[in-house]
Structure 1
Amino acid sequence: MNSRGPRPVLLYDGDCAFCSSSVRFAERRLDPSGWEAVPFQFADLDALAAFTDGQVSPYRAEHEVLWITPARRVYGGAQAVARLLLRTRRPGWSLLGAAMTVPPLSVLAAGVYRLVAANRDRMPGGTPTCALPPAARAAARARQAPAGAASAVGAASASAGAASASAEKPDVTEE
């Protein structure tokens, strides 16, 4: 937890190279001290579902980026991106985020988000794996892992367990 209190959490698909690249871009260009990015694969989705009164689900986390506030509000897809942009201290990005929340731009933003999400394997930073359903991506990742990666997978599982333990009390604040 930071000294300013809990922060919103951006929950994204850590198996998707395009999604991970987009989050790294946001961490470099936007002020990441006001929010935290967490791959849904390392989050305790049951605890987040309980925290948000069922607004977070594995299905939803697999199909759209989620912005979760400490006030238990959950925004998905384009509105999650808008909330992230609103959270930054950079005026141009904040203005874009604000524009994405009002009709008709919110409708346009949702359409663009769905178009990008459906074609994320073709986007810069995307890979063919991004087009696969989540279960198939995990299987493909396991097939591509080198022989010595089993211990790394175990270590990642242990750190994921620690991450999901901290997800029981999400470190989030209202926008």
Structure 2
Amino acid sequence: MPATSSGISRSRKFAERAIPVLVFDGDCGFCTSVARHFEKRSFTPLTIVAWQRADLRSLGLNEAQAAAQVFIVTEQGVFGGAECFAELMKIQGDPFHRFVAWGMRLPGIRKLFAWGYRRVAANRHRLPGGTPACAMPPENSADSRGVAGD
């Protein structure tokens, strides 16, 4: 099976989705706010689902992966973390968002954006809408080992 930028193998079954699926942490108020933002403002149809209520297997994900970062599943593959947001920009279709997506994937910018994503994810419980339930497990915990990174 081909691997995506997230390092996750994907099958043809879920790679042929006509409508992209955004998978987020439904227990996190901050994550829910961000997902709702995209739901309201997306120029392209988008299915938004909390990983706790998603059929993760059909999306090519497992619980540990979904708990570790946000994902978008598109016809092109599965994108997690910072790459998820770059792909969200790309699928909007208009020239401005495509340009932003291209910029987000430039080598130096990509690393910076991935670093920023990890900082936000690690501190999301401190952000507006965040709660103690939003806190991520420590990087060396059993829940985060073996999870694909950005």
TM range (shorter): 0.7 to 0.9
Larger Rg: 1
Superposition RMSD on alpha carbons, in Å?
1.9
Q: CA deviation at 1:32?
A: 4.5
In structure 2, how many angstroms separate the alpha carbons of the residues matched to 1:103 and 1:120?
Answer: 25
Q: CA deviation at 1:38?
A: 1.2
Instruction: Specify the SS of the correspondent of 1:7.
Output: coil
Q: CA deviation at 1:91?
A: 4.2
Instruction: Specify the SS of the correspondent of 1:31.
Output: coil
| Aligned mate of 1:62, from 62, 67, 72 | 67
Q: CA deviation at 1:104?
A: 0.8
TM-score when normalising by structure 1: 0.63
- What is aligned with 1:123? 127
Are 1:74 and 2:85 an aligned pair?
no
Q: CA deviation at 1:88?
A: 1.4
Structure 1 unpaired stretches of 5+: 50-55, 134-175
Deviations 1:137-156 (A, max 9, x none): xxxxxxxxxxxxxxxxxxxx
In structure 2, how many angstroms separate the alpha carbons of the residues matched to 1:32 and 1:19?
Answer: 20
- What is aligned with 1:15? 27
Are 1:40 and 2:41 an aligned pair?
no
- Check whether the contact 2:23–2:71 (CA below 8 A) recurs between aligned residues: yes
| Pairs aligned (count) | 121
In structure 2, how many angstroms separate the alpha carbons of the residues matched to 1:46 and 1:36?
Answer: 16
Structure 2 unpaired stretches of 5+: 1-16, 138-150
Taking only the aligned residue pairs, the percentage that are identical comes to: 40
The one-letter code sitting in structure 1 at the alignment partner of 2:91 is R
Deviations 1:46-83 (A, max 9, x none): 2323xxxxxx2211100101111235x11110001110
Q: CA deviation at 1:30?
A: 2.5
TM-score when normalising by structure 2: 0.72
- Check whether the contact 1:30–1:90 (CA below 8 A) recurs between aligned residues: no
The one-letter code sitting in structure 1 at the alignment partner of 2:49 is V
Which has more helix, going by share of residues? Answer: 1
Matches within 5 A, 1:102-141: 102-131=106-135
In structure 1, how many angstroms separate the alpha carbons of the residues matched to 2:33 and 2:71?
Answer: 16
Q: Which has the higher contact order (CA 8 A, sep 6+)?
A: 1
